[in-house]
Structure 1
């Protein structure tokens, strides 16, 4: 395997250790996987973000981010191929499709990265969804969102591509941590987007009737489901607790691991946003708790041999979910122990994995999977994607 930095970047990191990295196997054969993670702690950005290395493609759906006050979302386009790419963007929001100058004809030169502010196309958009298409060269597209509430940094995340539009989607490995602290902080100004939510976009021409089901991994957990109507070309974002009776005073969605299942009569795309918060400040101290958030995208269905790498981070876990059950075996590489996971039909199972290790996945055909991290004011994760029929260079976003 060889690694090289992309030579040019709008972020002035081209050719440096901070540039996106291109990973390749000589001759193009075999499986290749990579992942990276970062922790930030500055006056205006804090939190933890992790992302998987992915293959460049001609079409990506990005579900997440916002351009409202205090929310900054950047679109990154990396072209690790030897051919210039011409990129077009389709942008959807809570009021329907967005039209703006500059959404098409975006040139991403071979071996370069472009970084674009989503607010430059659509300011004050609460629920953006971006469809990225590329001609010529292929690209790796992602979003980077950071949140600032007043003067307090509220988290950061890297948002990778979600599964393509489909009538049934699964978001495995949704990890809720610090739900009690988040619930206490919701009364503070500008904390309304800390509640667990589901974002669903309908890019088609007919209205979609959607059912969202929240399924706990634990057998003694309580799930819920509710219905949504999503107009053609629109995005809906609602609380994941929409189907929960909260009159009892208990937490609507307590700490634990969940799968979100989205079923629709029209093809849709989806992702869930989860937040976490640290301990509240001492009594009499008017300061916000440290917090972070993560966007968990709908995962693609796994087919054939699959390899995953685990980036460093707090409490990494891998989760599998699918309509049919089975036994999944993770063959550890480089000294990591093998792991066997029994996945119930229609449910989810997860296991702790070793940071810095890689695993060859066996027995997961037809399932979806993700890797998640959760710690004190640190939350992130990424989906696991199957290898494409013809593999090419992979790009790790800095």
Structure 2
């Protein structure tokens, strides 16, 4: 499970369609129960083996092209990184109990790539639905009749699904546009912080509705500045609304709190009254300009990075606590303090900048530290752009990202 509380392995096994996960070399990594049931194979007979070792061509029917077409489709997906919905295929399956006995079967396959952070294909999702019974029920007897009947059926269903998908796409596009406008209105560029330079960035997820849960805030007070970033669980208009409430509440709390821990305690109590604020993460840093110290507290958020003028990078990770509303009862939050030298750089960010699927978070933090040290002499605006250029993969990000850079 991930932070959403959803057991994705259980979901995978419960899917009604047969699903197989393959390496780019077409070796089985996992299959669900529906796939095992329709193929008549056990998990031990499939996992770790090559697709066409488990399901070879029927040697008694040299004219059969189903398996060859499937291989071509999968190899095309690996090469292009694009999904391929195949036409109806006939490929026979050898009986697991009676070797040499082949059963005539008809299938409707879809092959989908799963991309790695660098944009290459890391995994293939092979979804297949058996339609043999549909052909039999329709009373078609010859291969040509069966193909004609099923082609018509699939065409009709395909057009219906295409229309539904287009309506959903347009609705999602409208919601994404409205949510982004709302996000932009609630995240204005901060004013000057005395003679200290700063830069902020908000980068929406690429081609997805998973936007508008990330936020930042800078509050300039006499002798100190409070800076924070946060991340709301969820996306779209609802996340943008929750984000705006939490940002405003923390901004107000930071003006009267003695420190970041007290500000987050007040925010946590407020979050309990907001539907959708549960498990939101946030980190707050109070900058004491005269004492040259940073006091910070984190509610389940990735740690800010402090880069010294010599390029040494430290992560502020000594005062981390659970996300907002994660505890059943209110409790005091920890805070920690560290000194900084003039010319240091403080970077706060949300997890979209450093987290990648199937990658440990420490790898992303190390990548951030290296980029920050490499570009540390740039002014905050140029540094913010350089960090995004170095850390955002070519295929874009799947989660929105907020970034704050301050020269201390």
TM-score normalised per structure 1: 0.30
Answer 1 or 2: higher relative contact order, Cα 8 Å, separation at least 6.
Answer: 1
Structure with the bigger percentage of helix: 2
Tell me the TM-score normalised to structure 2 length.
0.29
